[in-house]
Amino acid sequence: MKCFYYFKDKSRVNKQRSAPTLKYQSNFSTSEAERVIKSSSSAPSPRGITELYEEKAQNLRVFKFSELKQATSNFSRLLKIGEGGFGCVYKGKIKTFDGKGDPFVVAIKKLNRHGNQGHKEWVTEMKFLGAVDHPNLVKLIGYCAVDGERALPWVQRLQIVLGAAQGLAYLHEELEVQVIYRDFKSSNVLLDEDFKPKLSDFGLAREGPVDGQTHVSTAVVGTNGYAAPDYIETGHLTSKTDVWSFGIVLYEILTGRRSLERERPRSEQNLLDWVKQYPTDSRKFGTIMDSRLENQYSLSAAREVAKLAKHCLVKIRKDRPKMSQVVESLKQILGISAVESPPAKHFDDVEDDPTEEKPIKQMGVSESAKRRMEHLAKISENVDGANRRRFMIMQGARAT
């Protein structure tokens, strides 16, 4: 079986720094001591590597896979100059961004996802090289991030979440004893060879309330980013707890993002906070849609999915819909998509990134920077997709 959307949430552990000790001689006046304290407290705290990396990320160049193949003669062994835990390093020649001038020599590192070093170390190297700038340090000039597997098309996404909704409705409303799944998330939806969804991992499931009870009181468990706020605050578990989690997944199929993505800019790390900036009835709603869909979806159906997600995510749990109602809504949305969706687009070369960057002259500088950040965020996703390729392009130091 394939995983619908697999990831693990990794939270950072922030170490508290001890407060600096103020030292001054006994003959200091009170006003002098106050000035020292004020100066110390007003000094800005140093930025971390992540902040420096995000600031400079917009200057990185996004390469197509075909460019790297051409630069290395299809990754010829004759151009291999090194090999390590991450993969192989090749010598290549890259054209300038504007196409003017002579090509320049670079080192191109191709990630081996079966190597000894993992994705976390790869991202760490990317961050550090993207943040530093010194003549005696290798310079990161760009990257390429290409998925070997195509993104799921729009209608197929809807069919998958419909099947998942039917599974939850069965647990909530069709069994003699109500079952609350308690850990619904995209990575727990597996796909068979026909892309039929199967709910998995019932380790946190609980029986629902009985004998007139309104909820089950239990310890709060689940996955960060999917648990309902009322459940987190009170420990009161109901079927509407699953409905909240389902609303999160609905936004995930629209955006192609996870509920929490720590490597994105701060304003985009929390999926719910980000999508709130683009209401369903606004002209900017399309901004949240997964770019890998390449506009091959029904906009009106997408708006309906967003409205349904918003309904599932209301704070008062009794106002959330039942999963049987969610099922009926999704069936109607599928009907809209069947009528309005444009024909599926086919790609001759899946190696190239379909989200090819437009020349800066054809877009505003801010839009170009945003597109670069979106591409860079792809590399930071902790996804173990088959045939994923990652490359790091570094300018050679006077290489010949």
User: Do 176 and 325 reside in the same domain of the chain?
Assistant: yes
Residue type for position 264? R
* 231 in any annotated domain: yes
**CATH number, position 159:** 1.10.510.10
* 3 in any annotated domain: no
* 32 in any annotated domain: no
Asked which of 325, 340, 355 is the last residue of a domain, the reply is: 340
User: Do 143 and 183 reside in the same domain of the chain?
Assistant: no
CA 119 to CA 306: how far, in whole Å? Answer: 32
User: Do 238 and 102 reside in the same domain of the chain?
Assistant: no
Question: What is the residue range of 143's domain?
Answer: 54-150+347-395
**Neighbouring-strand partners of residue 145:** 390
Asked which of 299, 318, 340 is the last residue of a domain, the reply is: 340
198 is in an annotated binding site: no
* Cα 337 to Cα 31, 212, 292, distances in angstroms: 71, 41, 17
Burial environment of residue 318 by CB neighbours within 10 A (0 to 12, 13 to 18, 19 or more): exposed
* 302 in any annotated domain: yes
User: Do 125 and 79 reside in the same domain of the chain?
Assistant: yes
User: Do 313 and 331 reside in the same domain of the chain?
Assistant: yes
User: Do 116 and 160 reside in the same domain of the chain?
Assistant: no
Residues 6+ apart with CB under 8 A from 52: 131
Chain mean pLDDT for the chain: 77
Q: What is the pLDDT of residues 59-116, one digit of tens each?
A: 788 888 888 989 999 889 899 998 877 778 999 999 887 778 888 999 998 877 555 5
Q: Which residues are catalytic?
A: 183
Residue 345: what pLDDT? Answer: 45
Low-confidence ranges of the chain (pLDDT < 50): 2, 5-30, 33, 36-40, 343-365, 379-389, 396-400
Residue 136: what pLDDT? Answer: 80
CA 74 to CA 25: how far, in whole Å? Answer: 68
User: Do 266 and 225 reside in the same domain of the chain?
Assistant: yes
* 47 in any annotated domain: no
Residue 289: what pLDDT? Answer: 95
Residue 145: what pLDDT? Answer: 72
Residue 360: what pLDDT? Answer: 38
* 43 in any annotated domain: no
* Cα 335 to Cα 155, 157, 252, 297, distances in angstroms: 10, 14, 21, 13
Concatenated DSSP letters for 334-387? Answer: HHHHHHHPPPPP--S-TTS-SSPPPPGGGS-HHHHHHHHHHHHHHHHS----TT
Residue 265's H or E segment, with its range, is: none
Determine how many CB atoms are found less than 10 A away from the CB of residue 246.
25
- CA nearest to 108, candidates 83, 133, 136, 135: 83
User: Do 163 and 311 reside in the same domain of the chain?
Assistant: yes
Residue 393: what pLDDT? Answer: 61
User: Do 224 and 132 reside in the same domain of the chain?
Assistant: no
Concatenated DSSP letters for 292-331? Answer: GGTT-S-HHHHHHHHHHHHHHT-SSGGGSPPHHHHHHHHH
User: Do 317 and 329 reside in the same domain of the chain?
Assistant: yes
* 13 in any annotated domain: no
**CATH number, position 106:** 3.30.200.20
pTM greater than 0.75? no
Domain count, the chain: 2
Residue type for position 334? L
User: Do 72 and 199 reside in the same domain of the chain?
Assistant: no
* 138 in any annotated domain: yes
Contact predicate 387/148, CB 8 Å:
yes
- CA nearest to 173, candidates 220, 242, 120: 242
The two three-digit tokens of residue 243, written as one number: 């409905």
User: Do 69 and 185 reside in the same domain of the chain?
Assistant: no
